[in-house]
Structure 1
Amino acid sequence: MQVVKGIVARAKGEPVTLEDIQVPDPGPGEAVVAIQACGVCHTDLHYREGGISDDFPFLLGHEAAGVVESVGAGVTNVAPGDYVVLNWRAVCGDCRACRRGQPQYCFATFNAEQKMTLTDGTELSPALGIGAFIEKTLVHAGQCTKVDPEARPAAAGLLGCGVMAGIGAAINTGEVTLGKSVAVIGCGGVGCAAIAGAALAAASRIIAVDVDDKKLEWAKGLGATHTVNSKSEDAVEAIQKLTGGFGADVVIDAVGIPETWKQAFYARDLAGTVVLVGVPRPDVSIPEIPLLDVFGRGGALKSSWYGDCLPSRDFPMLIDLYLRGRLDLDAFVTEEIGIGDVESAFEKMHHGEVLRSVVIL
């Protein structure tokens, strides 16, 4: 057992606090990881606002890279000293998805069995089973993916959630390939990552849609060939005009509200694909669309959870592309901050001032 500093959300809507946290020694199948960097993701703000669950207090943070400090009995995939990116999809290998050769859809993922606690013994709920706004965290060993230690922690850790979700939405879920046209609605961190993924896949035309010109500039820097400010022009008409009147082969909704999903539905070509990767609020529904339109347009309507990624396959590959200069993960790091600056980072995120603030430990 050791005591370290970490960021805790004690109650819904209240500012986060820096607390002393007790981290147990790793048990069977577990690992303790010394965190080097952790991105401030919108999901962490959802936790603080009670939008995920009411299992307060939460230990926030989950987009992280660090070094394995110690492992428990039976751990063979990582060892002390390994440089890892943490993930929240530690696959079980035995559920019906894993047995049919689709571990990226694993229905029984792992987290650490033991609980980290406040010094008075209050158990903490780690964000996405990780909790990485902390000097050292306890996770299941399967949540640790070894990557090349040359990768900068502030950039590498972002694969742990938002960047992987966006890239995977394009490549894994949307199946973007050479020559396809792609439109991405919403150009925050996840949307810009989807644009970067479409560029990696050699899409012919990549259309970025947002209401904020600053975000559209970010999108251009990550591979968008065209931009549309939907505050001043109709998004569906603009996407159709940029694709010969047909619509895009793949349209990715990185916002997750009924209005943008409906735009995505009508902005795709016949037999095109809609991918929902923006996380919807629990109180919203799919907008009313004539069922004949669903039937008549064909194609696919998909949701993308964590970019349908398999961390053991995707993280090392994307880090390799980063180190070879083909994927600019550094472009997602707007600022580096201290562990006590998380609350101010939430405010900047809320106002759209950053792609990612990254806590450096």
Structure 2
Amino acid sequence: MKNNKQRWMLVAALGLACPACTESVGDGGGGSGGTPTTPTGEGKELVVEVPATGHAYVRLEGPEVVEGGAGQSDWDLSFSGYDVYTNSGPSGSANAGAFGPLGPEVFDSGEIPSDIPFMIADKLGGAFLGWYLYDGNTHRLWSRYHVHAIKDGGRLWKVQLLGYYGEAQGAPVSALVQLRYAEVTASGVEPTMTVADLNAYAGGAGGPIDAPSECLDLATGTRLEKTPAQASSSSDWHLCFRRETVLVNGELSGPRGTGAIDLNAAETDAEKLEQIQARTPATEQARFDAVDHAALTAPALDYRGDRIISAFSQYWLDRDGELPTPEDGSWVVRAAASETRYIVRFDRFEGATADSPGRVVLRVRREGAEP
């Protein structure tokens, strides 16, 4: 099972353990499928037939497989291939959310630990999802100074985020992003450009979902204020900054076809807060300068736009075998249409393929309910 360190890394990466929490926006879609519930000695068992494309929708009250869609509130979880989503944010219109993984004993006891502060809603994210580390003691975000590669057609850039804080009227202010970037060609690296105080405030934590924030066109250096709706339909930007979230104009976040990748992602798990706190724009200049055209065109690089990220992403699966298996843990899920919380365990996959777990066998119990 993923340990507590990994769990809190997920919380920090999703940007929901800090004053700059993101709002839930967007829309989704799909279909459904599955088999009826059967009682077991611990909670109730549900078998869900999961398609490689499209969605199977589950209501945890029961539990049962239901017809669903992004605009409906009568489902809590949806399954599509090896992805699990909650009815929230870009996945749905309701107020569901999830938290985990917790130990398997949480399901056995039926009691949710008191140190779970919130449910994580689905959101858009991609290569920049873990660009910072959150310090829970000071409620401050610290840039990892990873170098990110950006691809737009045949053009390439390298980008390094330098910080999340600026200054206004002599006082420190959050959500003013600092960064540097440079275009990289087969002939060499163009001059480095530094951008200060990109306005990512977007109305502040809990602000209106249509509040604008700044986006950046790397080709021209143009800074543009856009609402989420405007950004999602515009091709005149590469990166948009919305509080701690950095969006890439590709796949679900926009139509430009931009892709990105964190070139230093492999370092993330081993990075410690004190190490990151010691980094500065000066100490990390060499890391930025070292990235050349060969580094950005390595065959193994998979440039991607933004996708839907949920509390389950990357954490509900054990990928050590030939095919994924469910992680041995418990998940807390808030219902879409109420404050009721359920505990979910994924027992096994039946008929798994490279594209789908086949049938997901899971167990569900309401918080505090007897087995």
Q: Do both share a fold (TM > 0.5)? A: no
**Normalized against structure 2, the TM-score is what?**
0.29
Higher relative contact order (CA 8 A, sep 6+): 2
Identify, as 1 or 2, the structure richer in helix: 1
Q: Which has the larger radius of gyration?
A: 2
**Normalized against structure 1, the TM-score is what?**
0.30
Identify, as 1 or 2, the structure richer in strand: 2
